[in-house]
Structure 1
Amino acid sequence: MIPYGRQTIDAEDEAAVLAALRSPFLTQGPRVEAFEAEIAAYVGAKHCVAVANATLGLQLAYAALELGAGEGITSPITFIATASAMEQAGLTPVFADIDPETVNLAPRALDVAIGPQTRLVAPVHFAGLPCDMAAIADIARARGLKIVEDAAHAIGSDYADGGRIGSCRHSDMTVFSFHPVKTMTTGEGGAITTNDPELHARLVALRSHGIVRDPTRMARHDGPWFHEQQTLGLNARMTDLQAALGSSQLRKLDGFVTRRRAIMDAYRAAFADLEWLGLPPDAGAQRVGWHLFAVRLDFAALGRDRTAVMAELAGAGVGSQVHYIPVHTQPWRRRQRRQGPFPHAEAWYDQCLSLPLFPAMTDAEVEQVIAAVRALRP
């Protein structure tokens, strides 16, 4: 079965992890600092903080802004962590509808959703395609709002107006995920980038129980062993094992992005004539590190529902997945605050399906997916 996504691990990655296993450091050591510096340099940010996973990264980013009680706005088409991390940080999640073409947060819907309690905007770069961050930033900055980009899908992508996602040219912070199905992996893991030295210092403390070790930031300093807990933090630290894998993967990231784009091009050419299949938007020359090949299927035209289509694809050895169930429809969200309808998000859910896309796919596997999809004809 070809899965919808899978890590790409080679002998270089294995050697990097083995070297870390044989070193004096298994938890947080020099490889974490090196990985942070490499990520910051790759995206063009001043600071990077590596974390155990992207959910904790979002929570720490929200908490570092010290916004107090209020609301944060995000897209309903995202993994639940984007919103749940807001609640962990003391904010109430509010949703704004997507652009039906890009599946990203629509600037116009964001503008309408902003209210007197809004403190934060968390746009999600769905499938790796960047949001219209220039428009979102204009709207948010005019209202004095903070911005945290959920770039769990988007490492290696560039903004439409230039610059790499993670450079924070339109935001206060950006959060990446390195889960195995993402564009690069550390097993579990994530990272936060920022250009603000104060936010960086808060993130470092929040990542490790709220502990500060920098003497210049302490109320007192008794000696080289001394530290202070200055806030309530978490253990969100990345291990040296993860960082070793991350550094090795980062060296291959551009190649991963190139291969993903080539597979996307093959799919576009193969499916262009299928009236019952809606393709992702064509980003043209813009560099997009596609994480998902998420399409719209007209199930009515096909004469069968999504369950039947997924079973038919599985029978041909092709895995598929749904990204995402709109977050505002989840029972927990409906108990907290009934929101919606969001017609574009709900229409997306009714038709979406993610098909295999990962760098280790062979050309034969790409052709297998193409054949299985074309065989779905009405």
Structure 2
Amino acid sequence: MHSYSRQSINQADIEAVIEALQSEYITQGPRVLEFERTIASKVGAEYAVAANSATSSLHLACLALGLSAGKRLWTSPNTFVASANCGLYCGAEVDFVDINPATYNLCPIKLEEKLIAAEQTNQLPDVLVAVHMCGQSCDMAAIGRLAKQYNFRVIEDASHAIGGKYHDEYVGNCRHSDITVFSFHPVKIVTTAEGGMAVTNDAELAKAMESLRSHGITRDPSELKDVNQGAWYYEQHALGFNYRMTDLQAALGVSQLTRLDEFVERRNQLAQRYNEKLASLPLITPTLLGNCKSAWHLYVIQLAEPSCRRRVFDTMREQGIGVHVHYIPVHTQPYYQALGFDWGQFPVAEDYYHAALSLPLFFDMTEDEQDQVVAALSDAISSALNIS
């Protein structure tokens, strides 16, 4: 248990990659298209655009939505830096909205308060990135209503949440958003080793992301300015990037998706078991809203005595138990402090961070391994509190 999470690779996954490796295409080819169609069908979206990482997908999503210099992106401070960086990549200004202390997600009440104030100063956001922390969806209905009222676009950063549900529907149907982004890093629910996917119900957004992931180049005869050229001909219509996924990665992804529901169910079982086993310890277990089914990418507790977190962390790591901390608030990073942010601006996210500890959670985790984590955590807390 040296990591808080890890991939689950079976023989079918291995054979799928070998078959792809032996085929005509090993870079972007028919398996990428199959992976995209499978994801879109699974989550109930019209279109899917694969990329080499979720960070790339976030960047493509922002570009497709027209984010640029002079515009604004808001997101949660409780996230990995990519959720905010994607706005800076486009030259936009970035700001944050504090979180709900129960769910660790961006708080719609605080969002509305900030929107009301921003409207008065003509500083409304152009794009909001709603991060589904740990695998539980944000309150997307509330966010969607505010997006319509204040005229901003919404990206769901569902890097943690593939296979999760909101109001009994899979995260990713974009019912309350423009684009949803998934991650397939090895610590996530399903993996392509590295990879990302943006799904949408808007054909124009999908078309823009497809173009931008491959240098902004097109070979489509219906789009060419000069139609009197040979089959070799292509044109660059935008400044794009090389964000393509390979068929090797997509083959692994298609195989992994056959077990998506199994992965999520097992993670839910382990999370519930953690809830029961940890009930008597001086800590707060995660809160799951009744209208959500989390994909449980992370299981994050908050210690009742934050000052002992470092001792608990170090003690468990010394025993080979891969606890972690998710996340250091983005606005406190030195790069963002240089942009004018500082501690104290988003106190709920900061309080959460000081107490947070991610416990190991992965599909192949056994109950014996989970019991070892619980016992080690109990001992580490007791020891740290006695020292304190």
**The TM-score by the shorter chain falls in which range?**
over 0.9
Corresponding position: 1:371 with 2:375: yes
Which residues of 2 match residues 163-242 of structure 1 at below 5 A?
163-221=169-227, 222-242=229-249
Counterpart in 2 of 1:59? 59
TM-score, with length taken from structure 2:
0.93
* Paired amino acid for 2:296: W
**TM-fit CA distance, 1:299:** 2.9
Alpha-carbon distance in structure 1 between the residues aligned to 2:113 and 2:65:
23
Corresponding position: 1:361 with 2:365: yes
Which residues of 2 match residues 19-98 of structure 1 at below 5 A?
19-68=19-68, 69-98=70-99
* Paired amino acid for 1:325: I
Deviates more, 1:313-322 or 1:342-351: 313-322
Corresponding position: 1:146 with 2:153: yes
C-alpha contact 1:73 1:110 (8 A) present in aligned 2: no
Counterpart in 2 of 1:9? 9
Counterpart in 2 of 1:320? 323
**TM-fit CA distance, 1:170:** 0.6
> 1:301-354: CA deviations, max 9, x gaps?
xxx632211122124332110100000011111111325511100100110000
Alpha-carbon distance in structure 1 between the residues aligned to 2:223 and 2:328:
44
Which residues of 2 match residues 289-300 of structure 1 at below 5 A?
289-299=295-305
> 1:59-108: CA deviations, max 9, x gaps?
01000111332111100000001111111012111001000110000012
Counterpart in 2 of 1:329? 332
C-alpha contact 1:150 1:176 (8 A) present in aligned 2: yes
Corresponding position: 1:251 with 2:254: no
* Paired amino acid for 2:35: F
Matched position secondary structure for 1:336: coil
C-alpha contact 2:168 2:291 (8 A) present in aligned 1: no
C-alpha contact 2:286 2:301 (8 A) present in aligned 1: yes
* Paired amino acid for 1:106: C
Counterpart in 2 of 1:156? 163
> 1:122-168: CA deviations, max 9, x gaps?
11000001100000111111111000111110000111x33211111
C-alpha contact 1:95 1:113 (8 A) present in aligned 2: no
Match 1:126 to one of 133, 136, 142: 133
Alpha-carbon distance in structure 2 between the residues aligned to 1:258 and 1:2:
23
Alpha-carbon distance in structure 2 between the residues aligned to 1:277 and 1:142:
39
Matched position secondary structure for 1:217: coil
Match 1:349 to one of 345, 350, 353: 353
**TM-fit CA distance, 1:223:** 3.8
Percentage of pairs with the same residue: 46
* Paired amino acid for 1:88: Y
Counterpart in 1 of 2:112? 111
Which residues of 2 match residues 253-272 of structure 1 at below 5 A?
253-272=260-279
C-alpha contact 1:2 1:365 (8 A) present in aligned 2: no
Gaps of 5+ in 1: none
**TM-fit CA distance, 1:284:** 4.6
Corresponding position: 1:279 with 2:265: no
Matched position secondary structure for 1:49: strand
C-alpha contact 1:96 1:109 (8 A) present in aligned 2: yes
Deviates more, 1:265-274 or 1:345-354: 265-274
**TM-fit CA distance, 1:3:** 2.0
Cα distance, 1:285–1:72 mapped onto 2, change above 3 Å: closer
TM-score, with length taken from structure 1:
0.95
C-alpha contact 2:103 2:288 (8 A) present in aligned 1: no
**TM-fit CA distance, 1:235:** 0.2
Corresponding position: 1:306 with 2:306: no
**TM-fit CA distance, 1:366:** 1.3
Alpha-carbon distance in structure 2 between the residues aligned to 1:279 and 1:243:
35
> RMSD value over aligned CA atoms?
1.4
Matched position secondary structure for 1:305: helix
Deviates more, 1:329-338 or 1:281-290: 281-290
**TM-fit CA distance, 1:109:** 1.4
Cα distance, 1:280–1:298 mapped onto 2, change above 3 Å: same
* Paired amino acid for 2:310: T
**TM-fit CA distance, 1:213:** 2.2
**TM-fit CA distance, 1:40:** 0.3
Alpha-carbon distance in structure 2 between the residues aligned to 1:56 and 1:286:
27
* Paired amino acid for 2:207: A
Alpha-carbon distance in structure 2 between the residues aligned to 1:172 and 1:220:
33
